Structure 1
């Protein structure tokens, strides 16, 4: 189980990759929050604005604050980019992990498990197809009922409107 900058070992299970991906996702969210927080700090503190640097009498103090603000933002941006790269590598490693697992299962359990999995997949696909047909059929009936309700509302509105002669 070796990981080198963006390269994930094929020996990790999908569950291990998911746990690692969750960690990277949390890091990404934290870095994104830090970016927003740093941007908010810079926007709310006029001493950090570049305009404040040129108009301030104490240029060294203002530039010092500006560098600090930009530094925090830059650090958060780099953390974000790094965690996104790690997350992408984890996501791209998941299909390889599944293929490796299927390949190993074929050697350890013979092909019976993969045939059972395939049969279950086909069964689930058939069920999904029948459910889609059922939903489409119910949608058609619902559309008819909505159209009938519109007609009833139109008729009732016509009956309730005052007749002007």
Structure 2
């Protein structure tokens, strides 16, 4: 009976872990979607980011845009590689989250991105907790199951021995 309770507990923990994993994936997708929205909508750019983009080559996109797709020109401007994301978009970064969500930016900018990052952080914490619980439960069940397996083996060996004695 203890084995079936342990198996039921393991199933519950696996279902909870699956739910946390799905929440984490949805939150990560929300981050990407929010980033896409912000990158595609210049009105959402902070004034410092927009000024830096204009000074750093976004204006060049307009000058060269007649021959190339917007994204391709942007990539060519940076030597063929997209710029690496700034540390704030490392959604699992506790330092950025502890600092209030992100860098400077204009007030009100990045609201959906900040919400998505917060949702992701909460989902990751829940997923990590779930994984740790499954791991510790598996260790506990492992020792219990080993004892149960050992008892079952002994019982089966005794039964086999008894059958051999009664066999012709």
TM-score range (shorter-chain normalised) is: 0.3 to 0.5
Q: Name whichever structure is richer in helix by fraction.
A: 1
Larger Rg: 1
Please, what TM-score do these two structures have when normalized by structure 1?
0.47
Bigger RCO of structures 1 and 2 (CA < 8 A, at least 6 apart): 2
